[in-house]
Structure 1
Amino acid sequence: MDKPADGTVGKALTLLDAVAAYGRPVRFAEILADGELPKATLYRLLQTLVSQRMLAYDETHHTYALGARLIRLAHAAWQQTTLAPLARAHLDRLSEAIGETVHLAKLDNGQVLYVDKRNARRPIPMFSDAGKIGPAYCTGVGKAMLAHLEAPALDKALAQQSWYPHTPATHVSPQSLRAELGEIRASGIAFDREEHEPTIICVAVPILDEAGRPLGAMSVTSSTLRHSLADLAALAPRLSETAGAIAREAAAFTFPGARRAPTHGD
């Protein structure tokens, strides 16, 4: 489940990932059946994680769920390491102006992490939600970010895609996607043409740093039952303007882990 060098800590973190992936409280037997840990090791790790409040155990239903301590840590990480706090006011203004679903996302190990969302005035059921992980190869925000990766990073990200055909419009190979990524890089605009979910379409733009690298991406999403791609394309200038404003604000903010500029004493 993890690299040998990761030891107990690596096993515990992998176990937290596994519990989170269920999206619901889960029983010991399910975790044991779906995982690779021996029964005794799994039990010991679960007990430790519960005692540290990283997991919560429901004695009535005999299930495990994410704990309050982990949720607080996740919230702190969200506050400190994503664009969400910087972008919040910009998303609010854009959402109020257009009345459609707005997403803010970043790349995480080649996948899309949705870090914030504003629902449309008339909400539309869809997969995406803040905190969810989605595929990069068949979403507007994902393609907007992939298109602006440098070659080695792009190669790595494409190797991390599943290429599962979610709909008839989904790219199913790196070769077919690469041509579109070139067009996106040139235009600065990406579309989801019902590639991840039937009837769900979007227009997306990247949020780029001063070197042209993607900090994240934004999209306006709707349904073919309400709008056409041309309708959404008309919103691209407003979307790009908002992304630019967020990028300028981010330029003045140093994210944890960002490389410090050398000083004369270095």
Structure 2
Amino acid sequence: MATPLNGSLIKAFEILDLFSEQQPQVTSAEVASALEMSHSTAHRFLNTLEEVGALVQIRRGVYGLGHHIAQLGRVAERTNPLARLVQPVIARICGMLNESVMVGALSRDGVVCIATAIAPRPISVNIQVGRLLELHQSAQGKVWLAHMDVVEREARLSELAATEKLTEQNLQVLRGDIAGALENGFACNRGESEPDIGAVAVPVFDADGALRLTLSAFGMASRFSGHHESWIAASLTDAARDVAEAIPGR
């Protein structure tokens, strides 16, 4: 029998997940609406998170991320073993491609960037460690969807559709992209998340043949033509084997 999960802890992290660069502050009304809870329950969670330093009350009823979260973020960035192990590989492939490169891991809400190498271009694209990429709007997300079992994939797609992030028309296009990722061994993003950003992603398999991470190159969409995408995909596929060798087994 599976160990029961702590619902309050899950709910607390769902509140923390509401914060982003676009939404650096939240109120109890916003939390109550987003997570379908009463205002009193939202207020109690926010007060508790403030008490432990995860949140700080910027002004009456308005909360931002607190010092404890910032401290944990710095520790995670410095001590993440996977990031340290893959950094030399992605730095090398970044130099070869002259495009920014990142490694992603699957999370409950999408793909999380765990390591990046930024191209030394006058104008380059930077994605910060910890950034969450949407499954349906990123090359890395399409690779993860392509390699999920059918039940999990359909559950993820249904959840996206239920939250109106994915229309029926976009769903059909996405299914074609997923099929293409399986057939070709890589997936592309051509401005779906950000209009001017393109990306190519490939899978990183572990010794058992399971998808462990994803590896992508990204930059200005104008540089990601069909021929260039194929060349990048081939280079990333070679690098993915080096990433797989660099990381420990499960």
| Normalised-by-shorter TM-score class | 0.7 to 0.9
Query: How large is the Cα RMSD of the aligned pairs?
Result: 3.4
Q: Output one character per residue of 1:215-262: Cα deviation in whole Å (capped at 9) or x when no partner.
A: 121111122334423223212222112111111222x344xxxxxxxx
Segments of structure 2 that go 5 or more residues without pairing to the other structure are: none
Alignment pair present for 1:228 and 2:220: no
| Higher Rg of the two aligned structures | 1
Is residue 28–residue 39 contact of structure 2 (8 Å, CA) maintained in 1? Answer: no
Residue 191 of structure 2: aligned partner: 194
TM-score by length of 2: 0.77
Could you tell me which amino acid in structure 2 is paired with residue 14 of structure 1? E
Is residue 101–residue 123 contact of structure 1 (8 Å, CA) maintained in 2? Answer: no
Is residue 192–residue 203 contact of structure 1 (8 Å, CA) maintained in 2? Answer: yes
> How far is the alpha carbon of 1:142 from its aligned partner?
1.3
2:135 partner SS = coil
TM-score by length of 1: 0.74
Could you tell me which amino acid in structure 2 is paired with residue 243 of structure 1? A
For 2:235 and 2:55, how far apart are their aligned partners in 1?
A: 42
The residue correspondences of 1:121-132 to structure 2 (distance < 5 A) are 121-124=121-124, 128-132=127-131
Residue 107 of structure 2: aligned partner: 108
Residue 158 of structure 2: aligned partner: 159
For 2:81 and 2:192, how far apart are their aligned partners in 1?
A: 26
Could you tell me which amino acid in structure 2 is paired with residue 86 of structure 1? L
The residue correspondences of 1:240-255 to structure 2 (distance < 5 A) are 240-250=237-247, 252-254=248-250
1:117 partner SS = strand
Q: Output one character per residue of 1:34-59: Cα deviation in whole Å (capped at 9) or x when no partner.
A: 56444443333322222211112335
Cα 1:151–1:101 change in 2 (3 A) is same
Q: Once structures 1 and 2 are overlaid, which stretch shifts more, 92-101 or 79-88?
A: 79-88
> How high is the sequence identity, in percent, across the aligned residues?
25
The residue correspondences of 1:35-54 to structure 2 (distance < 5 A) are 36-54=36-54
For 1:27 and 1:231, how far apart are their aligned partners in 2?
A: 46
Is residue 24–residue 65 contact of structure 2 (8 Å, CA) maintained in 1? Answer: no
